[in-house]
Amino acid sequence: MTNVFASRLSLLSQPEALLQLKNCLQGIERESLRVTNQGQLALTEHPKALGSALTHGSITTDYAEPLLEFITQAHADPAQTLAELEDIHRFTHSVLGDELLWSPSMPCLLPREEDIPIARYGSSNVGQFKYLYRMGLSVRYGRTMQCIAGIHYNFSIPESIWSVLQQGSKNTQPLMDYQSDCYIALIRNFRRYSWLLMYLFGASPAVDKSFLRDNPHQLDTYDEHTLYLPYATSLRMSDLGYQSNAQAGITPCYNNLQNYTDSLLEAVSTPYPAYETIGTCKDGQWLQINTNILQIENEYYSSIRPKRITEGDERPVEALIKRGIQYVEVRCIDINPFLPLGIDLSQSQFLNSFLLFCALQDSPVFSGNACPETRQNFLTVVNQGRAPDLQLKRDGQTVSMHSWATELFDGIQVCAELLDSAHGGQEHQQALAQQRAKLADVDLTPSAQVLNAMRKNSCSFTQLALALSRQHADSLRDPAPELVQHYQALAAQSIEQQRRIEAADSISFDEYMAAYYTQLN
């Protein structure tokens, strides 16, 4: 235990600080494909009963029209976050008819690339802009990759806690700057240690063959419909998933907030030759927002992002520059196909302990080969995480994944005890014990459970996913009447809000885009 870590733990162990520690917030965004009862991608429009994908705060779409995204509010009690997520699931299942929510992260059997429908958001300029951004993703990366689903886990530590830590360290910065520096330090540690999350929660060791589209790959054949890697934990987070030659040049190593925001601002203003060849328009039709490395900041693929709630038409990077970091968004969590919500309370409690550990542990700035090393460790575990005697690199030296994980668990244990002192009970320590057990028994990991279930049932990846999707639909299909009324009201309000936005437009989309470019300059 470093001196910094021990000092921070001591400060937060005081009764007043423990009271504030209960106010850490967590929110969840869960994506899921709508599929037919036979496990094929649903080509139907976003169900009107779910409201407007443009304006609904809890139920929207991501890239594709059938790729639903459920968004909870941020709650201090993770059980409340999961309860809200369950409510959204129950209401959605109640209006899907014969359609299902696909249980894993990797997609179902997909149609031809050009037949995957891009999400639509209505006729307003802002709705057309959201569609154009997704069209840009299509021409840059293809539609197949955009059908991968995941869980985004949002986590914040209360400002009062940052104030306690700042006073304890005798730091004299403005609190906003100190808080941002601490969140950036959390992100550095997350990047150092997130390979552990891939081992514990990776749940995508196999894919349907249709996902590869006859592209070259290094996967093994499981059966005539399934490809896999025998020791993989998360093919979703491997080079099969979100990859981009253009983005390879974006290298924010998170040594300070300005380093991060400068990297993104440069990427959204630097042309990329391959995208210039495509152009922004063809035959009078818009193809992408611009021809730069990134169309907008959100296009940057990262396992974790610093975040600040935006105001009005503010861009995400502007919000960070003006008001600093408010929370982090963890983006590397696979959907657990065996869980109806894709995540459960125990996992949430462990993630809170892990993220608090990343925040409190000493976090040296990255230098030398530290950034490439963290990336390689991550990829090693997503591709080979369950391999016996797996070796990683730490400060240039080879280290056993098992021994390093054991060290991390010991540090996370102290943070779990701290959270239990704040909340009462031992739930965080029990959640950690469940995860520590996976280190002793690899068959407890979700990735191993997927392959073991396929072998036990003599089925393909898609057959297993479809069976689990049907099972979860049956368990979540009967919402309480008051719950239905609540979400019906939200749906109606969102549709009316979209109507008002469309009615308020006074310029064409071409004029809207011209104004957008002027604003950037």
Could you report the per-residue pLDDT of 100-155, keeping only the tens digit for each? 999 999 999 999 999 999 999 999 999 999 999 999 999 999 999 889 999 999 99
332-353 pLDDT, tens digit per residue, is 999 999 999 999 999 999 999 9
The bridge status of strand 151-156 relative to strand 327-333 is antiparallel
d(CA 50, CA 60): 8
Selection from 470, 441, 148 nearest residue 301 by Cα? 148
Question: Which overall architecture, per CATH, does domain 3-520 show?
Answer: 2-Layer Sandwich (3.30)
| Cβ atoms within 10 Å, residue 123 | 12
Minimum mean pLDDT range among 205-209, 242-246, 307-311, 452-456: 242-246
The full DSSP string for 105-161 is: SS--B---GGGSPBP---SSHHHHHHHHHHHHHHHHH-TTGGG---EEEEEE--HHH
**Are residues 106 and 208 in contact, defined by beta-carbon separation less than 8 angstroms?**
yes
Q: What is the pLDDT of residue 244?
A: 58
Residues 6 or more apart in contact with residue 262 via CB below 8 angstroms: none
End-to-end CA distance of the chain: 49
350-406 pLDDT, tens digit per residue, is 999 999 999 999 999 998 888 889 999 999 999 999 999 999 999 999 999 999 999
31-81 pLDDT, tens digit per residue, is 999 999 999 999 999 999 999 999 999 999 999 999 999 999 999 999 999
Selection from 236, 493, 194 nearest residue 383 by Cα? 236
Residues 6 or more apart in contact with residue 265 via CB below 8 angstroms: 317
Q: What is the pLDDT of residue 152?
A: 98
Selection from 282, 334, 327, 333 nearest residue 307 by Cα? 327
Amino acid at 267: A
Domain boundaries, the chain: 3-520
Q: What is the pLDDT of residue 242?
A: 52
Q: What is the pLDDT of residue 240?
A: 78
pLDDT at 29 over 80: yes
d(CA 361, CA 97): 49
Selection from 384, 385, 421, 419 nearest residue 405 by Cα? 385
Burial class (CB in 10 A: 0-12, 13-18, 19+), 174: exposed
Confidence band for 176, pLDDT divided at 50, 70 and 90:
very high
The pTM score is: 0.96
CA-CA-CA-CA torsion sign (140, 143, 144, 145): positive
181-215 pLDDT, tens digit per residue, is 999 999 999 999 999 999 999 999 999 999 998 88
Looking at per-residue pLDDT, the higher value among 116 and 250 belongs to: 116
DSSP-derived letter for residue 387 is S
Burial class (CB in 10 A: 0-12, 13-18, 19+), 7: middle
3-state secondary structure of 1: coil
The full DSSP string for 194-245 is: THHHHHHH--BSEEEGGGTTT----PEEEETTEEE-TT-SBGGGSTTSS--T
Residues 6 or more apart in contact with residue 74 via CB below 8 angstroms: 25, 26, 27, 81, 154, 156, 327
CA distances from 436 to 1, 199, 342, 343, 518 (A): 19, 11, 20, 17, 54
d(CA 175, CA 461): 49
The values of phi and psi at residue 392, to 5°, are: -120, 180
d(CA 273, CA 267): 13
pLDDT at 296 over 80: yes
Q: What is the pLDDT of residue 246?
A: 73
* Average pLDDT value for the chain: 95
Residues 6 or more apart in contact with residue 219 via CB below 8 angstroms: 207, 212, 227, 228, 229, 235, 240
Q: What is the pLDDT of residue 1?
A: 64
465-500 pLDDT, tens digit per residue, is 999 999 999 999 889 999 999 999 999 999 999 999
